[in-house]
Every structure is written in C-alpha cells, then in structure tokens.
Amino acid sequence: MSHTTGDKAKSKLLGRIRRIRGQAEAVERALEAEIGCADVLMLVASMRGAINGLTAELMEDHIRYHVADPDHDPDADRARGAAELIEVVRTYLK
C-alpha cells in the first residue's frame, strides 16, 4: 500500500494494529484464566470493532487513492459517488 508510506498514515495504521494485538492477547489471557463467557465475548466484540475500524480506514484510503478522491476529483458526479461510497463503508463497518 504505497499511499500508507507517509509517516502519519503508517504510524496511525500501526497503532491500530498494535491495539488489536493487545486485545487479542487479552482474549488469550481471559481464555487461559477461564473467565466467564460473557466477559470473553465482550473482549471479542471489542476486537471486532477495532478490526472493523481498521478495515473501514483501509477501504477509505483505497477508494481515495485508487478509485476517486472526492475532495480533488474534477468530475462532480464521480466525486459525489466516491463520497457516498466512503460513507456507506463507514456506516456498514460501524
């Protein structure tokens, strides 16, 4: 993903991955400690939310860099379509 090579974008994505890794380790510890299933499910739900957030960010970046950037596309219809697609992705992955 060449567009993530910028320090800010790359560090933001790596930060998300590190948080997800920490959440996965928390699930592992919870399973080893045999805590209640409701608590494990809450931890897994948190991981799922974090992964969905990462997925939405990656998809938005892909749309902006490889399909159309709604902020810079001179074709108004294409820009509007890209903006709508980004919004749908964000909503769907909430």
Whether 17 has a pLDDT exceeding 80, the answer reads yes
Residue-wise pLDDT tens digits, 25-45: 999 999 999 999 999 999 999
Residue 9's pLDDT band (boundaries 50, 70, 90)? confident
The pLDDT, as a whole number, for residue 21 is: 98
pTM: 0.82
Residue corresponding to tokens 């805590």: 35
pLDDT value, residue 10: 87
User: What structural domains and CATH numbers belong to the chain?
Assistant: 2-92 (1.20.58.1000)
Q: How much of the chain exceeds pLDDT 70, in percent?
A: 94
Sign of the Cα pseudo-torsion (15, 43, 24, 88, in order): negative
CB 54 within 8 A of CB 20: yes
DSSP class per residue in 18-67: HHHHHHHHHHHHHHHTT--HHHHHHHHHHHHHHHHHHHHHHHHHHIIIII
Nearest to 37 by CA among 23, 27, 52, 47: 27
Question: What's the number of CA atoms in the CB half-sphere (13 Å) around residue 11?
Answer: 3
CB atoms within 10 A of CB 87: 12
